Structure 1
Amino acid sequence: MKGPNGNTVLKPDIDVGGVIAAYSVVTPKKILGGDYALAFMVPILNTRFTSNAFNASAESAGISDILFEPIGLGWEKGKANYTAGYAFYAPSGDFDPSSPLNPGLGFWEHQIQAGATYAFDKKKLWNASGLTTWEINHSKLGLDVKPGPIFTGEYSFGRRFFKYQMNAGFVGYASQKLSADSGSGINPLIAGQLDRGFGAGAEWKYTDIKHRLAFDVRYEKQFGVQLRTSGQVLVFSITCLDLLHMKPAK
């Protein structure tokens, strides 16, 4: 756990495991010339916390906050693809203001995203992408605390292999709170402080067209963190595809 200056203030043993069920669909409808899509996501989390410093341990599990994306747009222009969308998190997960661990965060959050992917060569093998996310938060339920807005920028650089079915490369992100949390419930020791974090690693994606499955593995090591937990992140996902509506690679 990192302090305001990036110094380590505590080294507890924290493991957060999550299973996330997600569904997304790209419809035939066009909005502003772009393909219209929508999605939702249901995360189930299991968190274990152990601290020798406090001689304490805790565990929580359950459904976390559900994400809805009612608006997702995509455009293809030559070597570039563009995306934009709006989503929100609903405070559907259990949240107890007096508990140190909760499956839910206890507040509504709006997310506005915009990104692009660009291919450097005519065969569209080498590619780079970027995605920006702006988070706007409401006050926490049962607390006079309103988390400040957060900006996150994600980036990647990779190459396609095996007839465009595999993509592998370097990935990373930078996340910065834009204004401090507000409310009478803020800890005076961190009042007015802005948390941030960075991460870098690698990602591998493979699409098995025959079995209509897509696999994604991503690993990132966090660094330069302030006022957040700092560690390692591993993500593994399997996606079932509806290939009847997939566009062939050009």
Structure 2
Amino acid sequence: MKTQVSLVILFSLLLSLVSAKLFSQETGHYSPGVQGIKVGTLPPPGFYYIMHNVFYSADSYYDGDGNKSEIDFDVNVFANVHRFLYVWEDVIFGANYGMHVLVPTTNTDISIGAFGVNDSKYGIGDIVIEPILLSWNKPKYDISVALATIAPVGSYDITEAASPGKSFWTGMFTFGGTYYFDSKKSWHASILNRYEMHGEKKDYDVTPGDDFTFEWGIGKTIVSKQIWNVGVSGYSHWQLSEDKGNDVFYDASVKDKIFAVGPEVTCMFPKAKLNLELRSQFEFGAVDRSQGRKICLSLFKAF
């Protein structure tokens, strides 16, 4: 029962409606759809600053049976995410080794007319620390594996639906890769899998269930004065296990899921060591969560 919002973006959709059994409240940390076409490939060795700007909007909420709930639901989230990544060359087992820290800030505006909820908050979200990131880069494929923890440093209040933090720790295991269909690596397909395991919420006896997210991208590289990538990317997300704890008053057997797909274009400026990415993804098939649209503009700067 988790909405992710990414390597990602982090925003809260805890609805402060524990007594309203229409919802399964708890959502996970990771927000998919931020890394796009070549999601399974780690950049070459070096230091990178990456800024993700993500806008998510939804005016529909789907119940545990996948039916649209007539509750006058509306949410708008803007996340500005700062990511600092360093990659060393050929460190262990023939793989490049990297580590990164991700610091999100979010501005969330949520309203649910049927329940009188109207909340808006801006603040720092929960921070991602990824101390282990391994990448093998071969002529026909790339492979990546990573371990991360997500620390609950963002402010949280169960009575505030727009709280930027989640009030629990998360451990996340990542594995994936990119396959190149020709020797010039112009056509490629990429996948990335993330498995989240969550701790118990502070001051609240709920431990969210595990989450699994599958992200993918298919693209074409076009080389001119700049290097362009165009294609399609998307994601699928499932909650795998039930929420647990004495404060789980909703139906814990209901597990959320969501799917998304959309177009993407990226442009690399080699002389400036700068990369820009723009993607738009449209969600569908929602169960026990919101369903909306996501637009992401990312800037990658190598030093």
Fold shared per TM-score above 0.5: yes
Q: Indicate yes or no: 2:96 matched with 1:35.
A: yes
Partner of 2:83: 22
Partner of 2:246: 184
Cα deviation for residue 68 of structure 1 reads 0.6
Deviates more, 1:216-225 or 1:204-213: 204-213
1:195-250 Cα deviation digits (max 9, x unpaired) = 111111122111111222110111111111111111001111111112xxxxxxxx
2:260 and 2:203 mapped to 1: Cα distance? 32
1:167 and 1:65 mapped to 2: Cα distance? 31
Q: Is the 8 A contact 1:112 1:135 kept in 2?
A: yes
2:242 and 2:299 mapped to 1: Cα distance? 37
Structure label with greater radius of gyration: 1
Residues 198-213 of structure 1 aligned to structure 2 (within 5 Å): 198-213=259-274
1:66-92 Cα deviation digits (max 9, x unpaired) = 001100000012210110001111001
Of 279, 282, 286, which aligns to 1:225?
286
Letter matched to residue 53 of structure 1: A
Q: Indicate yes or no: 2:8 matched with 1:8.
A: no
Partner of 2:124: 63
Cα deviation for residue 13 of structure 1 reads 1.9
Partner of 1:108: 169
Q: Indicate yes or no: 2:231 matched with 1:169.
A: yes
Name the SS of the counterpart of 2:150 in structure 1: strand
Letter matched to residue 186 of structure 1: V
1:76 and 1:229 mapped to 2: Cα distance? 37
Letter matched to residue 182 of structure 1: K
With normalisation by structure 2, the TM-score equals 0.77
Partner of 1:131: 192
Task: State, as a whole percentage, how many aligned pairs show the same letter.
Answer: 32
Question: How many residues are matched?
Answer: 241
2:111 and 2:289 mapped to 1: Cα distance? 17
Change (3 A) 1:98 1:56: closer
Partner of 1:246: none
2:219 and 2:291 mapped to 1: Cα distance? 26
Letter matched to residue 180 of structure 1: E
Unpaired stretches in structure 2, ≥5 consecutive residues: 1-60
2:117 and 2:207 mapped to 1: Cα distance? 28
2:284 and 2:97 mapped to 1: Cα distance? 36
Partner of 2:295: 234
Q: Is the 8 A contact 2:110 2:161 kept in 1?
A: no
1:4 and 1:227 mapped to 2: Cα distance? 5
**RMSD over aligned Cα atoms:** 1.4
Higher relative contact order (CA 8 A, sep 6+): 2
2:77 and 2:202 mapped to 1: Cα distance? 23
Letter matched to residue 236 of structure 2: A
1:158-205 Cα deviation digits (max 9, x unpaired) = 1001247111101111111111111121233x2211111111112211
Name the SS of the counterpart of 1:224 in structure 2: strand
1:35-54 Cα deviation digits (max 9, x unpaired) = 00000110000011123333
Cα deviation for residue 65 of structure 1 reads 0.2
Query: Which runs of structure 1 show a deviation greater than 4 angstroms over 4 or more consecutive aligned residues?
Result: none
Letter matched to residue 131 of structure 1: L
Name the SS of the counterpart of 1:186 in structure 2: coil
Of 173, 179, 182, which aligns to 1:121?
182
Name the SS of the counterpart of 1:221 in structure 2: strand
